[in-house]
Structure formats: C-alpha cells, structure tokens
Amino acid sequence: MEQIVAPQAPPYAVDIEMAASILKNAERVLVIGCSGTGKSTLAQAIARLRGLTYVSMDRDIFWQPGWKLRPRQESIALMEQAVAGPRWIIDGNSPSTLPLRLPRTDIVLWRRPTRWVALSGVVRRWLRFRGQVRPEMAPGCPEQLDWVFFRYIWTFEKQEAPQFTEMFRLHGKHVPVLTLRSYREGDELLARLRDGL
C-alpha cells in the first residue's frame, strides 16, 4: 500500500485574501505546479489584470521546434534576461532555476491539486490541442502524451514538490507562497483580485 505523506508547507505561506492583497501591487510573480493544473490559464489572467509581461518557460526559455531542449547555458541566459525585467509573471517549474527567480519575486502561486486533477487536465488539454501547438508552447512542439509524461505527473508530489519546498527555504524565505488546492480556489483568487483593483 502506498504511504501517504502530508505535503510540506512553504516557509512563508499565505491565504487567498492575503495573496490577493499582495497581487494588487506585485510587480513580479511566479506560478508553479504540476502540468495540467492550470498554471498558464491563471498566469495569463493575472497578466491581463495587472498589465504584467507573461513569460511561459516552456515557450520562451526551454523548448525549440521538434521538442528539442534548448542548451542549458542558453536557457539560463534567457531566464536571467526575463527575471531582470521590471514587471513580469513567469509560468513554469524547473526547481533548479528558482535561485535565479525567487530573489526577484514578490509572490509565488503554487497550483497544487490532486494528481487526478492534473491527469484529467493534461488529457483535456491534449484532446483540445492534439496535432496543434498550444499558445504556451514553443513553435513546432505539437501537443503530445506519453507514459513518461504520465509518470511525471503521477510522481510529481513525491519527486518534484520537495525540491520546491527546499528552494523556498534556501532562497525564498521572504517570498509569500499561496498554495491553490483546486480550480475553485484559483477562481476565488482572481475574483478577489478583480474586486480589489
């Protein structure tokens, strides 16, 4: 039987009300979380509301046509350039780049529903965009699903989430983190942000 481990909270966790208050004036925002959880949708909605530059790590930093990863040094240079900007919202994971991003970040929004929600999200996305390139992905990278990707999602909380928590501890103790456990909580955050602007 699989052992259930309670998720660790970030060092500086905030609730939705506090996060909406911070977002009203935030200049630099990170949106992280497992694939299929609505990171891009949330990030783009906030970008429109606040007039922030939207950066998709998949599209703008990591991938080249044909699902070819950009060389590491080139990706790091692009990340440094993006983070140096005055006003942005960055959508994507890559825990190893958090030391670059967290020191410049005003707030982190962590999409963290169950893996079943994430799995259903990527399947719906694939059905919507199959054979096409979705707007948040690099040109020449049509939507795809395979067992490696499913495994990544299934093991995300065990393999990836602890890395985020450790990076918050090492590089972002000062950064407020809102954990969103459902789509409803994301909608509530956006509603509060709209009301407060």
Contact, 119 vs 154, CB < 8 A? yes
Other Cβ atoms closer than 10 A to 127 = 10
pLDDT for 4 beyond 60: no
pLDDT at 196: 81
pLDDT tens string 115-153: 999 999 999 999 999 989 998 899 999 998 999 999 999
pLDDT tier for residue 1 given thresholds of 50, 70 and 90: very low
pLDDT for 7 beyond 80: no
**Model confidence, pTM:** 0.91
Which residue segments constitute the domains of the chain, with CATH numbers given? Answer: 13-196 (3.40.50.300)
pLDDT tens string 24-65: 999 999 999 999 999 999 999 999 999 999 999 999 999 999
- DSSP H stretches of helix in the chain: 16-23, 39-50, 72-84, 98-101, 115-129, 147-154, 156-159, 161-171, 183-196
pLDDT for 14 beyond 80: yes
pLDDT at 5: 46
Question: What residues contact 166, with CB distance under 8 A and at least 6 apart?
Answer: 95
